[in-house]
Amino acid sequence: MRLEGTIALVTGSSRGIGRGIALRLAHEGADVVIHYNHAEGAEEAVSEVRATGRRGHVVSGDVASARDAARIVEEALAHFGRLDVLVNNAGVEKKAAFEDVTEEDYDLVVDVNLKGVFFASQAMVRQLRRSKRPGKIINVSSVHEDLAFPGFAAYCASKGGVRMLARNLAVELGPHGITVNNVAPGAIATEINADLLADKAKVKALQHRVPLGRLGKPEDVASVVAFLASREADYVTGATYYVDGGLTVHYEEK
């Protein structure tokens, strides 16, 4: 198993992509900390981790708060004694025309998607530097760190920030043996896309734009995260891996 002996924290892992990542890391041999802000699914997720034979633990908190983001990392560290991998997966989106975006919704999206990544990563780096150990930070970003997404300006701004943050940290932290990478999902079939999945016409139109002809699954994202968390990716940093079935590079003449 590639991750045997590894301790990983996955934020936002009570459901969806985060839960898929947590379970894949456990199957690869990692002990996993499940994080949630809303409790639904958290106990089931940690039970699935433990069912693989690995140790699991649950922490709660709102990554939109810098203090909470740091505390989540510190609680995970206190439970297992160390952390080797941080997966910043927690994220939100709010749809609105640009002129209708409220400050409240902007703050929510940017605070969860960018501020949370920043301060959880900072807490992770501090504990790695204290113990003089290498480590891995993996951010679940989005194809919209690169692709425009009308109606989701705050979301795109937050993911663009995550893109640049990962590149900057890769350079700054590389001398300490800490790698920082992004995984950028495209259209993934999860609860966050429930409205889309219920509209067969929209799903068909979207599938037409994806060269592989289907929506992704959490497992598709999790497999790339598992690679980046492993020793196989020790020489990989500052990169974004698109998990989108070819959506980002799709161009079609009309």
Q: Strand order of the sheet with strand 7-10? A: 56-60, 31-36, 7-10, 85-88, 135-140, 178-185, 240-243
Give CA separation, 172 vs 38, 175, 176, 178, in Å.
Answer: 33, 7, 8, 9
Whether the CB-CB separation of 48 and 42 falls below 8 Å is answered with: no
Strand intervals (E) in 55-206: 56-60, 85-88, 135-140, 178-185
Strand intervals (E) in 144-225: 178-185
Give CA separation, 230 vs 83, 126, 245, in Å.
Answer: 14, 21, 23
Task: Give catalytic status of residue 155 as yes or no.
Answer: yes
**Residue 19, both tokens:** 């839960």
Q: Which residue has the tokens 């609860």?
A: 191
Query: Which residue in the list 155, 235, 241, 251 is annotated as catalytic?
Result: 155
Give the Cα separation of 221 and 219 in Å (integer): 5
Give the Cα separation of 117 and 139 in Å (integer): 7
**What one-letter code names the amino acid at 116?**
G
Catalytic (active-site) positions: 155
